[in-house]
Amino acid sequence: MRSPAIPVPESLTARGSVRSAPPRRPGSVRRTTTMDFTWADGMGGDAVLDGRARDLRTGPDGAVTELAAASLRMVTDARRVIKEVSADPGLPALRALAGESAMSGFRKRLAASGAADGLAGAPLYQLLDDVPGATLVSGAAWQLYYDMDHYKLLKADVAHRVMRDVCAGFQDGSSALNPDGTQRWERTRTTAVEIEEGDDELAWHRHAEPDGVTMRRARRVDVWAEGAVLRVDAFFQDSSTLPGGGRTSIHEYTLTAEADRATGVVRSVNPVPRVLPHGECPLAVTHVGALAGVPLTELRGAVPERLRGPLGCTHLNDMMRALADVPVLASGLR
């Protein structure tokens, strides 16, 4: 990684991959989600997404109850156009998304289809909402399997795209940009801590374990109450397989947050950069104070509005948007 061209406080320097899940707290609810991408016919072939999610309550006495579970399967072609899509619980209206992009405009089309009506806060909605962001990152799984010059040719549409000010990492003047605003490509490898690491077999749901070249987006959100305060501890990781075995972390954050239990209004959000591709990326966390005072349920709209462009990070924004589901998770505490 190049040294930042824009000053970054030492306290914000990415700290490296960490264990994904602390011990479950008595009297808490944990949501975990995974989205695993595979390509049976190589980088130019169809991508298969296997998404899974679970909400698990740990009672004051340690007893566990599965509150909800969901799965999502999607096949997209090399242009990221949806060929097949299905879910459990079943949503027949999802079929209307076949033939459409899994990226730009996906969330608007999902809303227009009516497939997600009544799903707000449910684990299946989180999987669906994550499709464009996870699909965007998924192709990075192949970067370490090609010579860089060859890879850039294969990704010519991205290599020639002006990225200036699309996020904090690509803000004007960043070390990640060429003078013309296109991305400077470099290889980075940060060994990812496997999400299964630890002794708790219930820390995560049963997720896919595919072979070959894969990319995974993994999330964990723990919610519990302390008096009048809702507390949140969360983890976010994009990782991919390495040619020699193991995984490399592409993006990784941890986060804690507090909200008023009665009103659901955000009191504080404190993200910690763990693994990021560019030296300036951690600057995104300096702007999250803009979310204080926003109701949790409004975060899916408020985050992209208040943290747009160079004020935010696409992946951190996705992590904070998911906090909109905290009130639903908190309802499972009772």
C-alpha to C-alpha distances, 13 to 16, 249, 253, 313, nearest whole angstrom? 9, 16, 12, 15
45-80 exposure pattern, b = at least 16 Cβ within 10 A, e = fewer: ebbbbbbbbbbbbbeeeeeeeebbbbbbebbbeeeb
Task: Give every strand in the sheet of 28-38, ordered side by side.
Answer: 82-88, 64-76, 47-58, 28-38, 214-226, 229-241, 247-260, 266-275
Whose CA is closest to 100, among 90, 89, 108?
108
Instruction: Look up tokens 């702007």; give the residue.
Output: 287
pLDDT tens, 21-44?
999 999 999 999 999 999 999 988
Give residue 188's pLDDT.
76
- 254 pLDDT exceeds 90? yes
Amino acid 139 reads: G
Give residue 148's pLDDT.
81
| Count of Cβ atoms closer than 10 Å to residue 22 Cβ | 16
Give residue 75's pLDDT.
98
Contacts of 101 (CB under 8 A, 6+ apart): 79, 80, 81, 82
Is residue 36 within 8 A of residue 208, CB to CB? The reply is yes
Give residue 147's pLDDT.
82
Reported as a pLDDT band with limits 50, 70 and 90, residue 281 is very high
pLDDT tens, 73-118?
999 999 999 999 999 999 999 999 999 999 999 999 999 999 999 9
C-alpha to C-alpha distances, 140 to 33, 113, 181, 185, 218, nearest whole angstrom? 20, 30, 20, 11, 15
Rounded to whole angstroms, the Cα distance separating 320 from 234 reads 9
Contacts of 43 (CB under 8 A, 6+ apart): 139, 142, 145, 154, 213
Instruction: Look up tokens 């740990």; give the residue.
Output: 58
- 182 pLDDT exceeds 80? yes
Peptide bond into 89 cis (omega under 30): yes
Rounded to whole angstroms, the Cα distance separating 320 from 297 reads 11
Please state the rounded mean pLDDT for residues 233-250: 95
Here the tokens at position 109 are 């089309």
Is residue 238 within 8 A of residue 250, CB to CB? The reply is yes
Please state the rounded mean pLDDT for residues 130-143: 94
Is residue 200 within 8 A of residue 212, CB to CB? The reply is no
Give residue 159's pLDDT.
76
Rounded to whole angstroms, the Cα distance separating 322 from 125 reads 10
Domain limits, the chain? 10-331
Mean pLDDT in the chain?
Answer: 94
- 49 pLDDT exceeds 90? yes
Is residue 309 within 8 A of residue 277, CB to CB? The reply is no
Is residue 33 within 8 A of residue 53, CB to CB? The reply is yes
- 3 pLDDT exceeds 80? yes
Helix (H, G, I), strand (E, B) or coil at 127: helix
